[in-house]
Copies of this chain bind each other. A is one copy, B any other.
Amino acid sequence: MTENIYKLVELVGSSSESISDAIQNAIARASTTIRNVRWFEVVQIRGGVEDGAVAHYQVTLKIGFTLEEG
C-alpha cells in the first residue's frame, strides 16, 4: 500500500427501517460528493421514539476515504 493519506468525516445517518439502513443512507449520501470512500466506523447508535416504539434509528459514523494528491 503506497503512502496514501485518508480523511475521516463524521455523519449521522437516519432510517425508520433499521440500523444497517441508517448506515447505508449515510454512506450513500457521502458517496454523492466524496470519491474513494473506503470504510466506516460506528461511533454511536441512538434514535427517536414515538408512541412507545422506535420511530427512527440515528447512527453516528466516521467515513474514511482516500485523499487524492493535493
Within 8 Å CB of A60, what residues of B?
A: 8
Main SS at interface, chain A: strand
For this complex, 26 residue pairs linking A to B, each with C-beta atoms less than 8 Å apart, are A1-B55, A3-B13, A3-B14, A4-B14, A5-B26, A6-B11, A7-B9, A7-B10, A19-B20, A20-B57, A23-B54, A24-B54, A28-B52, A29-B67, A31-B49, A31-B52, A31-B53, A32-B52, A32-B70, A33-B70, A38-B49, A39-B46, A39-B48, A39-B49, A41-B44, A42-B45
Q: How many Å from the CB of A58 to the closest CB on chain B?
A: 8
Within 8 Å CB of A38, what residues of B?
A: 48-49
Query: Is A46 in contact with B37, judged by CB distance below 8 angstroms?
Result: no
